[in-house]
Amino acid sequence: MKCPVCLITWDDAKGSVCPQCHFDSSSPDARDTTKVLQAREAFKTRVSAYDPNAKISRWDIMKPWLAVILGFGIFMLWLKACGSMIGGRMMRFGHHSYSSQH
């Protein structure tokens, strides 16, 4: 089956009603171009109306990940700061012991 409204395809066994836009492809409306176009417009409006919500939910999914990435970034900066501090101290210590030996 192919939906004349949202143009998706699905298994014939699942019936003639589109699983995405719920348009009945076997109804007389499916053969009426104006009605199909009307349904298509209605579907597009519905999809664009849903879009902001979809964006918000996607943003909600992203938020914890951003927190994790931000936390990891701060941790890396902290690690780098500590690492260079320890590394600097060790280098100075190494240099000191090296020069005292000679």
Which tokens in the block code for residue 3?
A: 């939906």
CA distance 39 to 47: 12
- Would you say 47 or 54 has its CB closer to Zn ion? 47
Q: How far apart are CA 45 and CA 48, in angstroms?
A: 5
**Whose structure tokens read 């589109």?**
18
Task: Name which of 31 and 95 has its Cβ closer to Zn ion.
Answer: 31
DSSP 93: H
**Cβ 57 to Zn ion shortest distance, Å:** 22
Q: How far is the CB of 26 from Zn ion (least distance, A)?
A: 13
Return residues touching Zn ion (CB under 5 A). 3, 5-6, 18, 20-21, 23
Q: How far is the CB of 33 from Zn ion (least distance, A)?
A: 15
What DSSP state is assigned to residue 28?
G
Of 23 and 30, which has the nearer Cβ to Zn ion? Answer: 23
